Amino acid sequence: MSKWRQVVLATALAVFPQGLSAQSGVAVVGFVTEGSVGLGRGEYPTLGLALTATLAAELAARAAQVVTLDPAGPDRQGHFDLGAARAQAGRLGARWLAVGQLLDQYGDIHLEVRLIDVASGEPVSVIRADEAHHSRDVLAMALGSIADQLTRQPAIGGRPAAATAVSVEALMQFGRGLELEIAGDAPGAAAAYRKAAALAPGFSALERARRRVGG
């Protein structure tokens, strides 16, 4: 198991430890951020990493059945190998793949998650953030609205819940912490998580991350 999957599975399974039942649940692949502008170009892969871990945690907090796969491409901006993702998801018993996309146009965002049938590889549906959440400033709330909609999908389950208000700055620090944790730099990750915690008290995915690295 890769370090990335260990980190994000720990984020999700801390609140959903029983795993998946046969052919149920969703495997979170990652977020494509290619084409986004408004932040530094190198910041979007970090933000995509944070969104992936946060969506897994939001689903788990809603008692949905969820696992997270390794990023399949050479970077985290896209180019996922969906064949490899389907194979891994099938071994884990997941029914759907969730592939997210963030398009940020100088703060005006479009956030969606595409559901793909693991068995056939065919797209099933596209879940989009609601109309009230099209600003980068409410990105975490947009992700929560998508998590709520995903709980209504067959074989995912769960129940809607209130999303935590988390600033983009906090998400970026969370993403930096994840990058450092994946790289094996626990002290650096702990420092990044502390900065994120100062910006977003009560961010549950972040609290679990801090416990992992003793921060």
Model pLDDT for residues 99-147, shown as the tens digit of each residue? 999 999 999 999 999 999 999 999 999 999 988 899 999 999 999 999 9
Contact 92, 12 (CB under 8 A): no
Q: 21 vs 212, which has greater pLDDT?
A: 212
- pLDDT single digits (tens) 176-195: 999 999 899 999 999 999 99
Residue-level pLDDT at 10: 44
Asked if the structure places residue 215 within a domain, the reply is no
Which pLDDT band holds residue 79 (cuts at 50, 70, 90)? low
Residues 6+ apart with CB under 8 A from 144: 58, 161, 162, 163, 164
Asked if the structure places residue 66 within a domain, the reply is yes
Residue-level pLDDT at 11: 44
Number of Cβ within a 10 Å radius of residue 65 = 23
Number of domains within the chain: 1
Task: Report whether pLDDT(8) > 70.
Answer: no
Q: 17 vs 89, which has greater pLDDT?
A: 89
CATH of the domain at 138: 3.40.50.10070
Asked if the structure places residue 179 within a domain, the reply is no
The average pLDDT across 43-54 equals 92
| 3-class state of residue 95 by DSSP | coil
Asked if the structure places residue 143 within a domain, the reply is yes
**What are the backbone dihedrals phi and psi of residue 89, each rounded to the nearest 5 degrees, phi first?**
-65, -40
Residues 6+ apart with CB under 8 A from 190: 177, 210, 213, 214, 215
Which of the 8 DSSP states describes residue 185? -
Which pLDDT band holds residue 15 (cuts at 50, 70, 90)? very low
As a 3-state breakdown, the chain gives helix, strand, coil percent values, each rounded to 5, of: 45, 20, 40
Please tell me the number of Cα atoms within 13 Å of 200 on its side-chain side: 24
The average pLDDT across 160-188 equals 92
**Residue 67 lies in domain:** 3-162
Residue-level pLDDT at 191: 96
Asked if the structure places residue 69 within a domain, the reply is yes
Q: 122: part of which helix (H) or strand (E)? A: none
For 106, the token pair is 């100088």
Which pLDDT band holds residue 2 (cuts at 50, 70, 90)? low
CA distances from 156 to 10, 152, 176 (A): 19, 7, 29
Task: Report whether pLDDT(73) > 50.
Answer: no
Asked if the structure places residue 177 within a domain, the reply is no
Which pLDDT band holds residue 173 (cuts at 50, 70, 90)? very high
Asked if the structure places residue 117 within a domain, the reply is yes
Which pLDDT band holds residue 75 (cuts at 50, 70, 90)? very low
| 3-class state of residue 41 by DSSP | coil
